[in-house]
Amino acid sequence: MKLTRWDVFMAAVSAVCLLSGVFTFLEALHLLCRDGHIPWPVLAAALSFFTASAVVEWLTEQDWQQ
């Protein structure tokens, strides 16, 4: 299996989404410890980053099967 530029690009996008989700999740934990609750926009952002990472991984796998 040879990696194309598209595969490398999709892997980079997935990594950025995953790291953004991790940092947003850590911010949510910080707010939970400090304020006792997590604002819904922060929680929604963390979940959307993790979902985007999963979608990019799925799209990449679909591309490799062809």
Kindly list the domain boundaries of the chain, sorted by start residue: 5-64
User: How much is the pTM?
Assistant: 0.67
Residue range 56-65, pLDDT digits in tens: 878 777 755 5
Between CA 55 and CA 49 the distance in angstroms is 10
What sign results for the dihedral spanned by CA atoms 18, 23, 24, 25?
positive
Q: How many residues does the chain have?
A: 66
Mean model confidence pLDDT for the chain? 81
